[in-house]
Amino acid sequence: MAINFCKESNIFKLDTYSSTYIFGIFEGNYLVHYYYGAPIPDTDVSALWLRPWFASFCPDSPSARIPNFSPDVTPLEYSTFGAGDFRLSAFAVENSEGNKVTDLRYISHKIYDGKKSLPGLPSLYTNEDSEAQTLEILTEDKVTGVKATLIYTVFEKKGAITRSVKVENPTEKPFYIDTIHSLCVDLPGYDYDMLGLYGRWVKERSLDRYPLHHGIQSIKSKRGSSSHNHNPFTALVSKNATEDYGDCYGFNLVYSSNFSIDVEVDGFASSRLVMGINPEGFKWLLNPGEEFYSPEAVMIYTNKGIGEMSRMFHRLYSDNLVRGKWKKAKRPLLINNWEGTGMSFDHDKLVSFAHHAKDMGIEMLVMDDGWFGKRDDDKSSLGDWFVADYKLKYGLSGLIKEVNALGLKFGIWFEPEMISPDSEIYRAHPDWCLHTEGRDKSIARTQYVIDYSRKEVRDHIYSMMYKILSENNIDYVKWDFNRNLTEVSCAELPKERQGEVFHRFVLGTYEIMDRLTRDFPHLLLENCSGGGGRFDPGMLYYSPQIWTSDNTDPIERLTIQFGTSLCYPASTMGAHVSASRRASYETKKNVALWGSFGYELDPDKLTEEEKAEIKEQVKEYHKYYDVIHYGELYRLITPFENEFKVAWEFVSEDKKEALVTVVNMRQPYDSLFFLKLKALDPEKIYEIEETGEEYSGAYLMNAGLNLTHKPNGDGASYLIHLLAK
């Protein structure tokens, strides 16, 4: 069993193939954390809780009834505020007396097979109950009556544990949830590096690595989205950890709004990590009889390096987060008109796109921004989701019929959470945008954010989307989100609930995405937020792929895609060949193949030679689809460790096929280049398809390929395809 409870020692032991997680019920019904790391069979781990104790400055607990026990130095399983633990708090409520003292103690627990969904929130799931076991621990604050259920699900064969918290108010008085993190983990020592993914628009998810130090280190967002700037992911890795070696603790939050990841190293050299909703700007009123669920956090541990941690996340998300028809089905190869035309298009232009696309072997045409209302630029019409007939002379249905007649599928763009000041919907409902009375309405990209915390707003927007999608043969929706949230208050909520608006907004987004995928299960939904501004597990629950970045330059894309791959699988990364001027179409293709491949250009402007080249690229897309989408990723040379050259490799599950990609970001000083491959079968003989050369897997991994003769100029790239004999 993945979860075991020892009655004699009051120990909970959670086991995966790669890890053991142990905590227990201590004196006074405290929940105390003992161990998280490589698998161990032991259950007698009582000595692991001991920490230094510093007299009166670390207050003891009379209810623990033992000497030298203090909540301030003990590795508590789920820390609370104001009752003797001065370190980071995972949980706090403001009670009816106006104070925030919170002290949760164990009441009971239950263990069952499978996993429950979280109401209103995205979360991992099981395909069958045997995939996972769940532990629910009921805790209570005896003074206030607050109850919190700590929920753990163990995916034994995936090496993962998920955690969330359900809070209940069984009392007769309301209280506020002030802080609610989804997990709290205490680790002995602080000899770790902290990994994070930082960036900005068109430069998302670059890798940051820095040593833990005394004090608090944080990764946060308060933008109303997970954001371009920071991703809800971190890892604590041993200082000597590489792609192939070392302890790695990976953490990811299944949430698309304001998040907080904090790590505190205390004066006794212990480290505590908490992850959950950002407490800044959050305050949730819980009335008698109500309950609240925190978003789900994912934990993964391996002692086999950063690369293996990434592959564990990839397997888990591919099998237990991404859902629906397109989870495993081969996705259509698309062309999007945005970088080719912007909003300057009409019926004839898009039909011309479709004819060229058909000729080149592309399978779907996506009509981007500009098809609705009076939308000729970004100054109007968001929220007016009806067809601009002056652009589409035969209407949307007429355009789709012509595209379908060529054998192509059709996709369309929406930005359902936004509203333009110059729009029919805003003139009719000026109070529907997020705003704070008496303050300026901040504007970005000439648009406001529509208030998705309000049901009538969501229903109105969805009714227009439903009409478009139900009356037309549409196979794909690109859902965009092009600004952050400001002046976040809701005209319909009382003042005591204004701290709920950020969370209510994202719950509203999740609700509409859920309705969309349920009403139109055939749709391929691609999420976008100015590119990768909401590249997070919450979005992946609804959309199996996300537009990775608005930056389609292949050299710039390398850091973005390498960083994204730290946690997210290739199948989720939208990656297109564009008409960007730097690098050849060969390199554009080689980089874009690492992801959900497509095109973002005007085919009318291509030369005959370029069209012929794209036809060959389309063949390669189909040829390598399975090894990229279903194989395992190995980062051979990353842009974070080499300023000249990068390389990555996909290996099929049966190790009979591998695809290696090498890209020169700039010409290196040294031309000698040997590349050692990974994860092949050392006993198999592999043929390099391009040359016919044959080598053993052992040779390829230990001696490596001599690639000195390959092109090494700025922007040059090449593929190496290996097949086992």
Within the chain, how many helices (H) and strands (E) appear? 12, 38
Of 539, 478, 18, the C-alpha closest to 321 is 539
Q: Which two tokens stand for residue 85?
A: 């633990």
Residues of the chain with pLDDT under 50: none
Buried b (16+ CB within 10 A) or exposed e, 280-314: ebbbbbbeeeeebbbbbbbbbbbbbbbbbbbbbbb
Of 695, 614, 623, the C-alpha closest to 335 is 614
Q: Please, which residues bridge with residue 629 across strands? A: none
Dump pLDDT digits (tens) for 89-145. Answer: 999 999 999 999 999 999 999 999 999 999 999 999 999 999 999 999 999 999 999
Contact predicate 90/274, CB 8 Å: yes
CA distance 298 to 699: 37
Q: Which two tokens stand for residue 33?
A: 């954390």
CA distance 547 to 478: 9
Contact predicate 306/566, CB 8 Å: yes
Residue 713 Cα to chain centre, angstroms: 35
CA distance 269 to 253: 26
Of 161, 164, 150, the C-alpha closest to 19 is 161
CA distance 243 to 248: 10
**Residue 670: what pLDDT?**
83
Could you give the residue numbers annotated as active site?
480, 550
CA distance 205 to 219: 13
- Helices within 230-360 (DSSP H only): 306-320, 338-341, 347-360
> What 3-state class would DSSP assign to 219?
strand
Q: Which two tokens stand for residue 499?
A: 């701290």
CA distance 643 to 541: 35
Q: Please, which residues bridge with residue 444 across strands? A: 447
- Helices within 631-685 (DSSP H only): none
**Residue 668: what pLDDT?**
86
In the block, tokens 């789920």 appear at 78
Contact predicate 153/162, CB 8 Å: yes
**Residue 434: what pLDDT?**
97
CA distance 362 to 562: 26
| CATH 2.60.40.1180 given to domain 635-724 | yes
Q: Whole-model pTM above 0.95?
A: yes
Domain ranges of the chain: 3-320, 635-724
Domains 3-320 and 635-724 share a fold: no
**Residue 62: what pLDDT?**
83
DSSP letters for 18-86: S-EEEEEE-GGG-EEEEEEES-------GGGG-----GGGS---GGG-STT--TTTS-BSS-BSSSS--
Bin 595: left if φ > 0, else alpha if -120 < ψ < 50, else beta: left
CA atoms within 13 A on the CB side of 577: 27
Of 119, 112, 170, the C-alpha closest to 141 is 170
What DSSP character marks residue 257? Answer: S
Measured between its terminal Cα atoms, the distance across the chain in Å is: 40
> Looking at domain 3-320, what is its CATH homologous superfamily?
alpha-galactosidase from lactobacil brevis (2.70.98.60)
